[in-house]
Structure 1
Amino acid sequence: MAIGIGQKAIQAGYKVLFRSALDLVEDLELAEMKGELKKRINQLSKFDVLIVDELGYLPMTSQGRFNLFQLVNALYEYRSIILTTNKDFTDWGEFFHHDNVAIPIIDRVIHHSNIFMLGGESYRLRQKTACQ
């Protein structure tokens, strides 16, 4: 669904970036280590839509969570963010390790959001069993 929305946004003339959460967090951490975090966030802010896939799938470092908050905060009210995750909001504290960054990120993400709760069988598993 996120990819489809991203493709429609591109067709409508918007600039869209699709990144896995792990790649995005690693990118931000590398920029932070080089002293270029603000510059990297400004570069990412040039996209109209940022699609972050698989948030919460793998753990993040404390610095990674802080950097992600800074990005979300910079985009808040100005750009669109699409997050995909298999975690409920109530579980976000778990993959953010219950630190203080989970609530501000959730607050900014849900403030002007449309939330789509999807369930059911994995489409990958369904595709695999259909081929056999």
Structure 2
Amino acid sequence: RFQKAVQRGNTSRVVSSLVKPSCLIIDEVGRCVYDRPCTDLFFDVVDRRYEKEGPNAMVLTSNIAPSGWDEFFTGDDTLLCALDRLFDKASVFVMRGPSYRGRELDTYSVEAVPQAVKVRGIQPEGM
């Protein structure tokens, strides 16, 4: 959304739409790489939600620790400032163990069987 907003020139509308909900869920942080303008927009969303009156919960998920997010966000201290606001009043849950995905996965093992070949002129015994 950020990249399209930068291209179309409607960044303020996109940021406002992400500030408005009482709960914003950002799933899989680290799946996308943000250039400088998009990192700045991410900070703007976090900052405006941080200053927002009323309910303003944010849920961020990632399989990468926040200390490694600098690989995905371009900018000087922009990410650091965003993380400062995110973790100011945060509850952090670190989960380890098998993935929830695939818990109902059925696995089948198939063994190859030699193929039967009909040979002309030779019939099985007893026929």
Under a length normalisation based on structure 1, what TM-score does the superposition of the two structures give?
Answer: 0.69
1:83 aligns to what?
Answer: 60
Aligned partner of 1:30: which letter? K
Displacement of 1:118 in angstroms is 0.8
Q: Matches of residues 1-132 of structure 1 in structure 2 within 5 Å?
A: 27-78=1-52, 79-97=56-74, 99-128=76-105, 131-132=106-107
Shift of 1:125: 4.0
Larger radius of gyration: 2
Identity within the alignment, %: 28
Contact residue 30 and residue 62 of structure 2 kept, 8 A: yes
* 1:127 alignment partner, SS class: coil
Map of 2:114 onto structure 1: none
Q: Secondary structure at the match of 2:87?
A: helix
Q: Secondary structure at the match of 1:81?
A: strand
- Other structure's SS at 2:86 match: helix
Task: Return the offset for 1:98.
Answer: 6.7
Compare the two structures and name the one with the higher helix fraction: 1
Question: Which position in structure 2 is the counterpart of 1:8?
Answer: none
Deviation at 1:97, TM superposition (A): 4.7
Provide the alpha-carbon RMSD of the alignment: 1.8
What is the letter of the counterpart of residue 72 of structure 1? V
Distance across 2 between alignment mates of 1:102 and 1:83? 14
TM-score (norm 2): 0.71
Contact 1:29 / 1:67 at 8 angstroms: preserved in 2?
no
Structure richer in strand, relative to its length = 1
> For residues 58 and 46 of structure 1, what CA distance do their matches in structure 2 show?
23
* Distance 1:120-1:77 versus aligned 2 partners, 3 A rule: farther
Following superposition, the deviation at residue 33 of structure 1 comes to 2.5
Letter of the 1:35 counterpart: G
AA aligned opposite 2:58: I
Residue 89 of structure 1, CA deviation: 2.0
The 2-side partners of 1:38 and 1:117 are apart by 33
Question: 49-58 or 30-39: which moved more?
Answer: 30-39
